[in-house]
Homo-oligomer: A and B are copies of this chain.
């Protein structure tokens, strides 16, 4: 029984110990080595992953062959490719461990059974999706309104600990900038 996940659940829904156990019974604890993949292009994503240790990057390969990072996944966050998971279509995405990592796997099949057994889980993921969507919209607003320099500085300010954990060139990719440009920002 994962204490962080329990706390996380209870942030959003009222849930008894028994119900938490039912939820956690649907999860498989797994480990993965640095640089290995949770998902690769062409595979259909069939699960959501709750990260308990390490961090992941979620990226695709664009038309010029560059790896474009769309998200980082860190401890106590869910990571998955919703486009592939929800529509059961082959993914265009990669999800890769950036450190040796641990996570809880919630397969879509197990989740659908849970929705029936425990309808409040439906509520939980409804709320999670609302939060996730709001964050996505916030990011779009930043992309519209901020200069490259401001994007970088806003990220560093909001995620100071994480910024040191990630190679600069991956941060650049996530922000839609080049490593050279980040270098230029920092030198001033």
Contacts and interface: CB of A to CB of B under 8 A. Distances in A.
A129 B86 CA distance: 11
- Tell which of A60, A70, A119, A130 has the most Cβ of chain B within 10 Å: A130
Interface residues of A, number: 31
A70 B137 contact: yes
Contact of A129 (B87, B133, B143): B133
Interface stretch (A27-35, A120-128, A162-170, A179-187): A120-128
A132 interface: yes
A137 B87 CA distance: 14
A18 interface: no
A138 interface: yes
Interface of A: 60, 62-63, 68, 70, 82-83, 86-87, 115, 119, 122-123, 125-126, 129-134, 136-141, 143-145, 176
Q: Top 6 closest A-B pairs, CB basis?
A: A129-B129, A126-B126, A136-B136, A133-B133, A62-B145, A119-B119
